[in-house]
């Protein structure tokens, strides 16, 4: 684990400890051909067990995306030091879904594998269920409640972006109206985006 990932891991530990989650997170590792390993850490309050549908969402956080800065593949010369860095967090209630860690790792590895730059309001469509029998096939990225991870100069801080699972219908709405309109529709419809069994919003 390089110094950046060590700083991110420590920052996450502090963030969740302040919210009463002091146990070491469960960890899953995913490796893709030609890319470095991506870990997915699961932070959950003591009452959030895999055999109950708890009212407190577990947090699944990628660790590995921020290893290197994200660069535009169109750039002739990539800066190996400066540039935006990011990790992702998914908040979800209930048991750990089979396949979620891999889907989250796919997105976290995309900057290194595909030259994708992850940023707030980005729509990342995997065009397949995000976990077994999930009605969701895409993630809508936004700001999370985890503060940016400061790094020594000249490195840019690491953004921890919320990745909200969304349906194909909602993804189409985002393309048509934008990310903020989708979030407003969730509020108007009373949609709990941490509920893995939720219905899709029906904006007009």
**pLDDT tens digits for the chain (204 residues)?**
469 999 999 999 999 999 989 999 999 999 988 789 999 999 997 765 554 445 568 999 999 999 999 987 666 556 667 789 999 999 999 889 999 999 999 999 999 999 999 999 999 999 999 999 999 999 999 999 999 999 998 899 999 999 999 999 999 999 999 999 999 999 999 999 999 988 877 666
β-bridge partners, 58: 92
Element (H, E) at 173: helix 168-177
β-bridge partners, 149: 158
For helices 179-189 and 168-177, what crossing angle results, to 10°? 120
Q: How many CB atoms lie within 10 A of CB 80?
A: 9
Phi-psi domain of 6 (left: phi exceeds 0; alpha: psi -120 through 50; beta: other):
alpha
Contact criterion met (CB below 8 Å) for 120 and 141: yes
Q: Is the dihedral of CA 86, 37, 132, 110 positive or negative?
A: positive
Domain ranges of the chain: 3-189
Element (H, E) at 166: strand 158-166
Contact criterion met (CB below 8 Å) for 138 and 126: yes
């Amino acid at each position: 684990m390089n110094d950046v990932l060590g700083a991110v891991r420590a920052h996450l530990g502090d963030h969740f400890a302040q919210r009463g989650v002091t146990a070491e997170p469960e960890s899953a590792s995913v490796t893709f051909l030609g890319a470095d390993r991506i870990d997915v850490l699961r932070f959950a309050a003591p009452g959030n067990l895999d055999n109950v549908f708890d009212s407190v969402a577990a947090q699944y956080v990628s660790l590995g995306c921020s290893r290197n800065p994200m660069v535009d593949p169109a750039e002739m010369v990539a800066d190996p030091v400066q540039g935006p860095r990011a990790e992702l967090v998914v908040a979800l209630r209930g048991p750990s879904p089979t396949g979620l860690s891999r889907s989250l790792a796919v997105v976290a590895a995309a900057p290194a594998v595909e030259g994708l730059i992850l940023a707030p309001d980005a729509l990342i469509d995997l065009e397949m269920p995000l976990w077994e029998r999930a009605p969701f096939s895409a993630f809508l990225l936004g700001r999370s409640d985890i503060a940016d991870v400061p790094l020594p100069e000249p490195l840019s801080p690491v953004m921890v972006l919320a990745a909200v699972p969304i349906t194909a219908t909602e993804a189409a709405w985002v393309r048509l109206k934008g990310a903020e309109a989708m979030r407003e529709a969730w509020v108007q419809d009373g949609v709990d985006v941490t509920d893995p069994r939720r219905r899709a919003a029906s904006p007009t």
